[in-house]
């Protein structure tokens, strides 16, 4: 039996190809949803939207400090693992759910498979970096998305026999879910937008939005971009970011704020944008796969492959640099090669787990 443990929407998205492959093969598996970001009831619609089976278990742990959240998840996961006794658990990425699930399973002597292993930003200020490093070092199966990720693991002394380069499940997810989006949504019509005639912005990371000067820099940079190009800047605003903008009393000029979108709507908006500005790791990957130029509002990235491919540049949060990097990307061709694989990562991962 396989236990798939997830807790945030990005994890659901990136695990969707793995879940679909388990279904296709008729394997004995179950999904455990920790509810790290949203309540299970809110995410029920998300599973329906992506045409995925509903989780068997949900913990609804909600928000809290990193210690509180990680502890709650460990307690809840441990009870279910002791009851179900799976042979292996699969976790994806770098959230508190990933670390808590891996720790609970390891202490019960259940094998841990880490999907998207080996990513490194080398920035210990980011809680995600701590989560991914610790999870890699207690995992039994490390599914590295690229050769770069594999090299990171080898340099840290992890046994090569545990490492499998599978490609990134985000490639599978983008292609599979874009097909679903074509059938179900038309967000450009709803927002009265034309393809390649708008910019898209997302920012949610605490090291950006919780720091007044960094958030001010991002907003000023967006205003400078609007003044330079005079085309719509669409900002599906994260609740955390909206709270901080209000708290810091910032004005937003030339930026169209919209409510957070469902993944299918966002994917469609992303695929048709002229340029995307983001601090999200997943969005850096998605834009690279979709052939859309990206400017990353961070000083580092755990997706260096996007920089090497030419789909992405780092801008940090200084306004002048954001504008400069936006101009560079808008003058760059989008003929890069996708470095994240052929869209069969989910199939490879499930096959390896099944064989082992």
Are the beta carbons of 201 and 231 closer than 8 angstroms?
A: no
Sorted by sequence, the CB contacts under 8 Å of residue 45 that are 6+ apart come out as: 262
Are the beta carbons of 211 and 231 closer than 8 angstroms?
A: no
The β-bridge relationship of strands 199-202 and 233-236 is parallel
Residue 61: φ, ψ to 5°: -70, -30
Distance of CA 162 to the CA centre of its chain: 24
Euclidean distance between the first and final Cα of the chain, in Å?
Answer: 12
Are the beta carbons of 14 and 289 closer than 8 angstroms?
A: no
Q: Indicate if 238 belongs to the active site.
A: no
Reference 269, options 344, 192, 166; nearest CA is: 192
Sorted by sequence, the CB contacts under 8 Å of residue 295 that are 6+ apart come out as: 275, 276, 277, 278, 312, 313, 315, 322, 325, 326, 329
Q: What are the beta bridge partners of residue 113?
A: 90, 141
Please give the structure tokens belonging to residue 65. 């400090």
Are the beta carbons of 10 and 97 closer than 8 angstroms?
A: no
Determine the Cα–Cα distance for residues 333 and 291; give it in Å rounded to an integer.
9
If you count them, how many residues does the chain have? 356
Q: Which candidate in 66, 137, 204, 238 is catalytic?
A: 204
Determine the Cα–Cα distance for residues 183 and 177; give it in Å rounded to an integer.
10
The region that residue 124 occupies, defined by phi over 0 for left and psi between -120 and 50 for alpha, beta otherwise, is alpha
Determine the Cα–Cα distance for residues 165 and 143; give it in Å rounded to an integer.
6
Determine the Cα–Cα distance for residues 244 and 158; give it in Å rounded to an integer.
40
Active site residues: 204
């Amino acid at each position: 039996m396989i236990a798939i443990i997830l807790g945030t929407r990005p994890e659901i998205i990136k695990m969707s190809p793995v879940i679909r492959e388990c279904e296709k093969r008729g394997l004995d598996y179950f999904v455990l949803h920790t509810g790290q970001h949203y309540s299970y009831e809110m995410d029920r619609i998300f599973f329906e939207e992506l045409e995925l089976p509903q989780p068997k278990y949900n913990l609804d742990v909600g928000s809290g400090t990193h210690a509180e959240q990680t502890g709650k998840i460990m307690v809840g996961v441990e009870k279910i693992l002791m009851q179900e006794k799976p042979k292996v658990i699969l976790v994806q990425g770098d959230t508190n759910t990933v670390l808590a699930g891996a720790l609970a399973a390891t202490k019960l002597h259940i094998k841990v498979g880490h999907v998207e292993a080996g990513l490194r930003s080398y920035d210990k200020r980011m809680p995600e970096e701590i989560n991914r490093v610790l999870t890699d070092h207690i995992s039994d199966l490390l599914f590295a998305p690229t050769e770069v990720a594999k090299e990171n693991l080898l340099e840290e002394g992890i046994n090569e026999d545990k490492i499998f380069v599978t490609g990134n499940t985000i490639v599978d997810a983008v292609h599979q879910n874009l097909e679903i989006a074509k059938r179900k949504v038309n967000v450009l019509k709803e927002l009265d937008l034309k393809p390649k005639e708008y910019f898209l912005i997302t920012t949610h990371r605490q090291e950006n939005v919780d720091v007044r000067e960094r958030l001010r820099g991002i907003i000023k940079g967006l205003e400078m971009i609007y003044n330079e190009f005079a085309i719509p800047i669409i900002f599906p605003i994260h609740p955390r970011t909206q709270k901080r903008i209000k708290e810091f009393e910032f004005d937003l000029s030339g930026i169209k704020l919209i409510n957070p979108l469902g993944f299918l709507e966002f994917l469609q908006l992303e695929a048709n944008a002229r340029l995307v500005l983001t601090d999200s790791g997943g969005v850096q990957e998605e834009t690279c796969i979709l052939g859309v130029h990206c400017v990353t509002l961070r000083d580092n990235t755990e997706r260096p492959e996007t920089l090497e491919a030419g789909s992405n540049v780092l801008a940090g949060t200084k306004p002048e640099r954001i504008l400069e990097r936006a101009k560079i990307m808008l003058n760059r061709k989008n003929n890069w090669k996708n470095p994240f694989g052929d869209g069969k990562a989910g199939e490879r991962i499930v096959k390896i787990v099944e064989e082992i």
